[in-house]
Amino acid sequence: MDDSSKISASIDALGSRFDQAMSEPDAINRFRDLLDVVEEARHLQSKVGKSLKEHQKSESFLETEKRFVTKHETKLDALAQGFFNCYAVPGKARTALDQLCDSYDTQYVLDVVGLGVWRLSKPLGFDLFGIKSEARQLAETFYEKNLHPALEKAIPDHGDYLKLKRLNVEERYEIVLHDIETCRKAAAAVEVALKKYRDRFATEAKSMPEEEVEKLSPAEAVERLKVLPAKMQEAIFEAQKEALAEKLRDAR
């Protein structure tokens, strides 16, 4: 079960618990059950919010890597044309470059390609005892003037590019975008559910008879007080002040 399914299942479970709480005939038990539902909804909201932040952090990281891959591939496009102009089998030259960058440090690879066109693959044309065909001469000239400078620009980043391609950075980026959208939808759904539960809890808190209020624990009484209208809160504080003042008078 993926995160989306788990969150949906959690929201459905909360809805069932809410319905069950509302069917409770005893006011105290109904209040307590609703308080539990509200607390669980808050916990789920926090959990979804945390997941969203984690996915957004991953998105930022992967976006940077994806931009790197995209930028490097523009360099590789230029190399592809260069390989075509220089080698009998351009794909072998690209494979040789990949293997070098995978196995050796950047400076070594730069030194290797600096030795000449023949270091990556068989160049176009022929060189027979120093007698070069026109195609070989053109290949060597193009390599020195165009392909070699392009290789020097691409090689420092090519090893990292190959690693990122193996890690499927583009696919992972698409996945995290999907996860972010899923979390945002889930957060909206949880917010709607939580408002519904809070509103019902507030209604229960306001309508609770005084004799039932006295049965609440201190922590439950505080939660009830939080959702009461300001005027009701003021009235409760005033009553508590008067009760305390009366106790002090009696103590004298």
Whole-model pTM over 0.85:
no
Mean pLDDT by 10-residue block, N- to C-terminus, for the chain (252 residues)? 76 93 92 95 94 95 95 93 95 96 96 95 88 92 96 96 94 94 92 94 90 88 87 75 64 63
Q: What pLDDT score does 3 carry?
A: 67
* Residues composing the chain: 252
The rounded distance, in Å, linking the Cα atoms of 83 and 142 is 10
The percent of residues above 70 in pLDDT, for the chain, comes to 93
What rounded mean pLDDT belongs to the chain?
90
Q: What pLDDT score does 209 carry?
A: 86
- pLDDT tens-place string over residues 214-223: 889 989 988 9
